[in-house]
Amino acid sequence: MSNIVDNKENIDNQEEVTNLTFCCFSICDDCMLRCRMCQKWKEDLYIKSNRGQMTLEDWKQSALFLRKIAPDDFIINFGGGEITTVPWLFDLVKFCHDLGFRTNIATNAFIVDKQMVEKMHASGLDYINISLDSLDRKTHDYLRGVEGVYAKVMQAIDLVNEYAPNTQISICSIIMQPTLPGMVDLVKWVQQNEKVNMIYLMVLMQSNNTEQQDKWWKDDAFNELWPKDYKQVEAVLDELIELKTKGYKICNPVDHLEAYKTYLHDPDTYVKQSSCNIDHAIHISSVGDMFMCYRHECLGDVRDKTIEQMWKSEKAKSVRKQINNCRENCHFLLNCKFEA
């Protein structure tokens, strides 16, 4: 811990690098749900390390090194798995908050309770993204694979609003066949709900933790999830775009929603006129591997090299070229970091 303190004292003297625009600390890979559009709960195909999971101290060290290259007011996104299962989550959030980062967590809300929300408030957490795919209880629970998830989401919204009032609540919803008919109603519900600050819309992608395959959306495993009627897709997205232009609390910009229309019409059509922006991103896995994009080469282990060293390395330059030439629609391009 003494090395961490020494590094912390030297932060202000470091040269700032301003082209980093996104970072995700994936602090765990486990999840208690059995979501039909995600296989994260299964044994991981890709996260392999003899060194095991990163500890709290490892993540603190990473945050300190990130501070050296991150611009002011930078957001650290904490992801998983279901990160609320990590007992020291809000210790790490507070540490990052004290370093001057804004902080954001994503959760299914299934184990969020009053005690956890009180820790959340004490940590200074800025944003919480809660997954809610439908206002229909049966639909949401069915998609999440466990009964009672919908009720837990509604309870978590109330708890955060009451006991962590400084934390903004965002709803995260996935556009897919079972949710398409109710998506506009969900957006209108968010608009009318004073407890919820915003809604972020995603589109169905190939499941986490599955082997990459061409035409994956035609696989039997996705038959009930992939939208069947493009006219319905277009009508729903056009209405969502209209609501966005009217000032509804939709995070996605209009061109992002237009890209969803292109993608859902033909997933093979590259949705951007420019290259992917994920070359401005850092992803750190639960075992310390640092990537810009998980589809490209690992830059190294954050326990062996500093983030700054890897970010400015020759390997990073090579990966950036690969990303700039990539023309695949993927979760990171479409759902995480779409920029016109």
pLDDT at 17: 35
Q: pLDDT tens track of the chain, all 340 residues?
A: 334 333 443 334 334 334 899 999 999 988 999 999 887 666 665 566 677 899 999 999 999 999 999 999 999 999 988 999 999 999 999 999 999 999 999 999 999 999 999 999 999 999 999 999 999 999 999 999 999 999 999 999 999 999 999 999 999 999 999 999 999 999 999 999 999 999 999 999 986 666 777 888 988 888 899 999 999 999 999 999 999 999 999 999 999 999 999 999 999 999 988 889 999 999 999 999 999 998 899 999 999 999 999 999 999 999 999 999 999 898 888 998 888 7
pLDDT at 80: 87
| 176 CA to centre of own chain | 18
The pLDDT score that the predictor gives to residue 337 is: 84
Task: Find the Cα–Cα–Cα–Cα dihedral 222, 224, 229, 232, rounded to 10°.
Answer: -110
> What pLDDT is recorded for position 107?
97
Q: CA 80, 85, 89 angle in degrees (round to 5)?
A: 80
**Alpha helix (H) residue ranges in 124-229:** 137-144, 149-163, 183-192
182-202 pLDDT tens trace: 999 999 999 999 999 999 999
One-letter amino acid identity for 40?
Answer: K
Give all strands (DSSP E) within 262-308, no chain letters.
Answer: 281-284, 289-291, 300-301
What pLDDT does residue 274 have? 87
Count CB-CB contacts under 10 A for residue 194: 6
* Of the candidates 66, 19, 23, the residue with the CA atom closest to the CA atom of residue 310: 66
Whole-model pTM: value is 0.90
Taking a C-beta distance cutoff of 8 angstroms, is the pair 105, 121 a contact? Answer: no
pLDDT at 219: 86
Q: What's the CA gap between 115 and 57, in Å, rounded? A: 23
Query: Coil, strand, or helix at residue 27?
Result: coil
pLDDT at 6: 39
Q: Decide: 94 and 123 in contact? Cβ < 8 Å.
A: yes
**pLDDT at position 184:** 98
Rounded to 10 deg, the angle between the 230-245 and 254-265 helix axes is 180
Q: What is the pLDDT of residue 16?
A: 35
Over residues 117-163, the pLDDT tens digits come to 999 999 999 999 999 999 999 999 999 999 999 999 999 999 999 99
Cα separation of 75 and 102, whole Å? 5
